Structures are given as C-alpha cells and as structure tokens.
Structure 1
Amino acid sequence: MTAAQRRAAARPADDSAPRQATGLLTYLLVGVYFGTVLVKSEAASWYRIQEMFRFQDFHMFGLIGSAVVTGMISMFLLRRFGQTRDGAAIQVSPKETGWKRYVFGGLAFGVGWGLAGVCPGPIFVLLGAGVWPMLIVLASALLGTYAYGVWRGRLPH
C-alpha cells in the first residue's frame, strides 16, 4: 500500500465537502490575487503591449521573462515533488515534437492577440475591471475554442 493510499484510508469519508470548498476558495483567492497583479503590473494594458511590440519599453519583456522563469521553476518542482492534495503523483508528460503545431498555433495566437490588443490571459481580469468590450473578445475566444474542437482531427498536430 502506498503512502497516498494509507492517507486516504486513514481519512474520514465525510471530509470531502469541506475540503472541496476550501480548495475552491483557495483557487478563487489565488485568481483574484493574480488578476490584481496583472492589472497593477499593467500586463493587461493595451498601451504597454503596443510599447512591447514597438520595442519602446522593456516593461513587458521583463514581465514575460519573469513568467518564463517562474514556469520553469514550477515545472521542475512539479516533476520532482508533484503531488495532488490527496497525495497522488502528478505526471507531466513531454510535449510532442514537430514544428507545424507551434507555427500554426503561434500564428493563430498572434493574430488574436493583435486583433484584441491583449492575450487571452487577462480577458476575465479586464472584464472584472469594467472593460466591457472584452465580452466580444471572450465570445471570440470561446468560438475559436469550439472551432478547434470541431476541426481538431483535420489540423496538423
């Protein structure tokens, strides 16, 4: 019996609802914090993004670079110590190789970013800040996600 199975067997069966509520509250608070950081760091600012694309300011490159470093550290830690809250191991599978998926995905992402003026990450943050035209961006993102699901089998992966 593994350590995770022993912990699951030792835990009372009726603790799942409060544990789930605590987890959801944690995710909500982390999301609100992340949204606040995006707004305060101006990562959701159309002007900052335009400055980045025009190479007029280092601000966004610094933010993106710090996000890449944070992601690298997080993936290292997940691969090394990754467990769910119940103790089950998290498996991070390697990405498939091939250039088509990255070229076409990057083009689709870049065109959407250019048309909307923001990447998809801060859509809800901007809605929360009262930028109501982001409803059009959200609807377009959902439509694009649906279209991908429909055409996935015919796309180069």
Structure 2
Amino acid sequence: MTRTPSIPGVHAGSAPRVRAAAGLLVYLLAGLYFGVVLVKSEAASWYRIQEMFRFQSFHMFGLIGSAVLTGLVTTQLLRRSGLNSRDGQTITVTPKEKGWRRYVLGGLTFGTGWGLAGVCPGPIFVLLGSGVWPTLIVLAFALLGTYLYGVLKDRLPH
C-alpha cells in the first residue's frame, strides 16, 4: 500500500482546498503583474487617455492595438489547441453573434463612460491601489451600470 506524503498542518481531505488556494495565488500574482504593467505603461493615466481622445498622442492607440493583436493571437491559439482548464474541461471560444446594433450601442455606452471618467474598467482597481481615491466614484458608477444592465438586459438589443 502506497501512502501519499502528508504536508504538516494540512489534513488529508483538504488537498482540493490547498490546490484552489494555490490557483488563487496564481491569479493574484497575474493581477498584480497586470496592474504594474498598466501603471508603468501609463494606461491608467487620465492624461494619456485624454491625449488619445483629443488625437494628440499615439501612445494609447499603440497600447490598445497591441492588446487587440495579443487577444487575436491568443484566441486563435485557444481555438486550435484543445487545452483543458484547471477543472479538466476543454476550453472553447464561442463565436460572437451576428449583427451590429449591440456592438455599436455597447461601444457608444462604454466609450461615453470612458471619456467622461477618463478611465476604462481595467485600471479602476489599479488606480485605487495607487491611492487615487476619487476613482471610488468611477467604481460606484461602474457597479451601478452593471446592475442596471442586469435589470434591463431583457429589454436591450442582443
């Protein structure tokens, strides 16, 4: 009979919890890295975002373009690889629905909020972590908008 080695302080039935905690640690570290990249690339800078909307600088367009290119390549690799998730399920990328209205209305809504707040949802927590406390107002309205979408989603074009 083989016996699995025990970890001091960890009970035999808690191995899935330890694995889940280790997985969460990986996500935390990836999120911290992403936050540092956002700050160092100035993607979380209100001034850089305003320069972009005023067509005064290529900086943000270059960052967004590289993100789109990275997303395209990653999506194609995921579609072709047949990789499994941590739970053992095959990762699939579902195709987008046809039509233009939902994308135009969603883009206009997102862009209006981005232009008014000077920040998209990605860097909200990065800015809070950097001590930019007025971003709490942006977070509150982002949460309100998400809630309102949940309430109104059956009446919106999809």
Corresponding residue pairs, total: 146
Instruction: Please state how far the C-alpha of 1:15 moved relative to its aligned partner.
Output: 2.8
- Equivalent residue for 1:92? 93
Q: Give the whole-Å Cα distance in 2 for the aligned partners of 1:111 and 1:56.
A: 19
The answer to whether the 8 Å contact 2:53/2:115 transfers is no
Q: What is the correspondence of 1:111-122 to structure 2 with a 5 Å cutoff? A: 111-122=112-123
Instruction: Please state how far the C-alpha of 1:13 moved relative to its aligned partner.
Output: 7.2
Q: Give the whole-Å Cα distance in 1 for the aligned partners of 2:21 and 2:31.
A: 15
Give ranges in structure 1 of 5+ residues lacking alignment: 1-11
Question: What TM-score comes out, normalization by structure 2 length?
Answer: 0.88
**Share of identical aligned residues, percent?**
73
- Equivalent residue for 2:126? 125
Q: Which amino acid aligns with 1:113?
A: W
SS across alignment from 1:130: coil
Moved over 3 A (4+): none
Instruction: Please state how far the C-alpha of 1:92 moved relative to its aligned partner.
Output: 1.1
CA RMSD of aligned residues (A): 1.4
Larger RCO, structure (CA 8 Å, separation 6 or more): 1
Q: Which amino acid aligns with 2:56?
A: Q
- Equivalent residue for 1:104? 105
Q: Which amino acid aligns with 2:39?
A: V
Question: What TM-score comes out, normalization by structure 1 length?
Answer: 0.88
Give ranges in structure 2 of 5+ residues lacking alignment: 1-11
SS across alignment from 1:94: coil
Point out the structure with the larger helix share.
Answer: 1
Q: Give the whole-Å Cα distance in 2 for the aligned partners of 1:138 and 1:88.
A: 33
- Equivalent residue for 2:54? 54
The answer to whether the 8 Å contact 2:43/2:49 transfers is yes
* TM-superposition CA deviations, 1:64-121 (whole Å, max 9, x none): 1110111011101111223202432012111111111011101110110111011111
Instruction: Please state how far the C-alpha of 1:14 moved relative to its aligned partner.
Output: 5.2
- Equivalent residue for 1:140? 141
